[in-house]
Amino acid sequence: MGVAAKDPESYLPLTESVFHILLALTDKERHGYGIMQEVKRRTKGKVKLGPGTLYGSIKRLLEGKWIEESTERPDPAINDERRRYYRLSELGKRIAAAEARRIVDLVHQAREKKLLPDEAVGKLV
């Protein structure tokens, strides 16, 4: 997850957990537990990130500069000083978009091989 490679596709494929973390940070800054809740909500409980997976991934994403720690707090009134908030970096956005394109391409390949009916793909893209 280093910053040496500039081409976002050079980081692919992503692990499922990393992609879910990046997706959770796409629309707003979140703290760790908020990321866990967002992933669980968005996947209807099918994906649950455990603390070890989440915080280990966050550490690597910070080191690789895919995400950044935010100094701002969404709502100071309910803020807990111990919470660290994270946001997607520009590199992280490019990598997440590249992974999404890779997944769409795989879905199209599955459709060509008749693994998915045409109407299922229409719902995905």
Q: Could you report the per-residue pLDDT of 29-69, keeping only the tens digit for each?
A: 999 999 999 999 999 999 999 999 999 999 999 999 999 99
In CATH, the architecture of 12-124 is Orthogonal Bundle (1.10)
Quick check: 125 pLDDT over 50? no
In the structure, what pLDDT confidence band is assigned to residue 106 with cuts at 50, 70 and 90? very high
In the structure, what pLDDT confidence band is assigned to residue 80 with cuts at 50, 70 and 90? low
Q: At residue 87, what are phi and psi to the nearest 5 degrees?
A: -135, 160
Among residues of the chain, what percentage have pLDDT more than 90? 77
- The token pair at 95 is 């990598």
Among residues of the chain, what percentage have pLDDT more than 70? 83
In the structure, what pLDDT confidence band is assigned to residue 74 with cuts at 50, 70 and 90? low
CA gyration radius, the chain: 16
**Greater model confidence, 80 or 38:** 38
Looking at residue 118, its pLDDT comes to: 72
Burial class of residue 39, CB neighbours in 10 A (0-12, 13-18, 19+): buried
